[in-house]
Amino acid sequence: MAVLRFSSISAHIRALAVASLALAGGCAGNQHDLLPATETAAPASSIARDHHIYIATTRAKAKDPREVYSGQRSRKAAYAMVDVSVPAIHKPGRIERPPGNVADPAKYFTAKEISGYRDDEAFSRALSADIKAHGGHALVFIHGYNTHFDDAVYRITQIAQDSGYTGAPVLFTWASAGKTVDYVYDTNSATVARDALEETLRLVAKSGAKRIDIVAHSLGNWVTMEALRQLAITKDKDLSGKLGDVVLASPDLDVDVFKSQMERYGKPKHPFIVLASKDDRALDISSWIAGDKPRLGDYLNAKDIVSYGVIVVDLSKVKPGDELGHTTFADNANVIKLLGQGLNEEDARALGRNADVTSRVNRFAQGIGQSLSSAADIVITTPLEVLTLGAGGR
């Protein structure tokens, strides 16, 4: 029988407290209204870009109309679209949030009036026009634990802006409570949302998308993998050939559960991409809560999981963008830019052929190596080989 020393327990409790404070610190004192009470005028020259963000959600309506959606669950999915402007002074990797209810588009991300759709058909018609205008490409983003609705909207906007993604951005937002103490509630909310995500992916495909990329973060990987597993059970694992890249960023997912999901899904036609780091403190705490079981996002025994049809990108040595090292995929300006370059490649879905896997990963590796100070900041393990980053070397 294993003995857990008191000192070890204390260390974990202290780490949990530090992590909770760090996570809460990003939200402390901030209201979570998406829509500002008032907005100051800003010249067009002060705006970098306006983004149309399409939204599918299992959140219930908030009591405050400016918050729009709450952390409570809804039994029925809702659909909406919001325009969000990004200021010209925006720095890649950051989200410049307004400090209160008065928005200044010249300084901060600013959400405009949100439009709701009465049903999925109306949503599909609007989304279809936007997808067509974006060359038939769409990106579905699924956020993680401890995320308010406004946080999710701002995050996908920042990803679309900084990655330079050329497709239509679609946010799938499940009912996270937005509190560090509600991890179990969030886990259950993610589970409740898996059918809605499956239907959302089908809806995006139905709306004229030729290619659908997926980026999931943290606990959002649980609902993502469950939805993909369900698609496989219905014999439509790649959305009739429309599924593009699947990026699993800092996945808060038990490794054994992931293996089980992949066994049911089967090997993808082209590998899923797992972004991992041994220095992800948030996943360290999650692992401890789960009985010291490793999470996929900090599990660096890449050879153990690449056989399931994934590429593992080790970001351990990359400078994190947050105190916990949990949002490096979006907060590190170099990583998000190169992620966008990869997603924008026209041949992204050709990864099923061995030569294409090596060629594309080499290009990704060379790009990262040229933009980071260290000559060996990233190790990429593919189903075929291990690529150590530097000058694109092996």
Question: Residue ranges of the domains in the chain?
Answer: 38-388
CA angle (321, 327, 331) in 5-degree steps: 45
| Per-residue pLDDT, 378 | 67
Core vs surface per residue 330-345: b (16+ CB within 10 A) or e: bbbbbbbbbbbebbbe
Whole-angstrom distance, CA of residue 81 vs CA of residue 184: 29
| Per-residue pLDDT, 363 | 59
Residue whose C-alpha is closest to residue 103's, from 85, 80, 127:
85
Mean pLDDT, residues 361-366: 56
Whole-angstrom distance, CA of residue 307 vs CA of residue 169: 31
| Per-residue pLDDT, 221 | 97
* 212-251 confidence digits (pLDDT tens): 999 999 999 999 999 999 999 999 999 999 999 999 999 9
DSSP string, 244-258: EEEEEES---BHHHH
| Per-residue pLDDT, 2 | 37
Q: How far is CA 98 from CA 95, 161, 287, in A?
A: 10, 18, 34
| Per-residue pLDDT, 385 | 58
Of 145-149, 174-178, 312-316, the poorest mean pLDDT is in: 312-316
Tell me the sheet residues that pair with 274: 248, 312
* Residue carrying the six token digits 């993502």: 224
Residue whose C-alpha is closest to residue 279's, from 251, 229, 329, 314:
314
Mean pLDDT, residues 174-191: 94
Which amino acid does the sequence have at 109?
Answer: F
Q: What is the reported pTM?
A: 0.87
Whole-angstrom distance, CA of residue 283 vs CA of residue 242: 31
Mean pLDDT, residues 340-351: 63
In the predicted structure, residue 172 carries a pLDDT above the cut 90: yes
| Per-residue pLDDT, 12 | 46
Thinking of the domain 38-388, which architecture would CATH place it in? 3-Layer(aba) Sandwich (3.40)
| Per-residue pLDDT, 30 | 55
374 close to 358: Cβ distance less than 8 angstroms: no
* 295-343 confidence digits (pLDDT tens): 999 898 888 999 999 999 888 888 777 777 788 888 888 788 878 877 8
Cβ-proximal residues to 118 (8 Å cutoff; 6+ apart), any chain: none
In the predicted structure, residue 24 carries a pLDDT above the cut 60: no
Residue 117 token pair: 């759709």
The pair phi, psi for residue 170, each rounded to 5°, is: -125, 125
| Per-residue pLDDT, 386 | 54
Tell me the sheet residues that pair with 87: 47
Q: What percent of the chain lies above the pLDDT cut of 90?
A: 60
User: Which secondary-structure segment (H or E) carries 157?
Assistant: helix 149-163
Of 187-201, 276-290, 333-347, 363-377, the poorest mean pLDDT is in: 363-377
* 28-85 confidence digits (pLDDT tens): 345 799 999 888 999 999 999 999 999 999 999 999 999 999 999 999 999 999 999 9
Residue whose C-alpha is closest to residue 80's, from 104, 97, 92, 62:
62
| Per-residue pLDDT, 304 | 92
Asked whether the CA dihedral 55, 207, 50, 141 is positive or negative, the reply is positive
Q: Terminal CA-to-CA distance of the chain, rounded, Å? A: 43
Residue whose C-alpha is closest to residue 282's, from 338, 320, 319, 312:
320
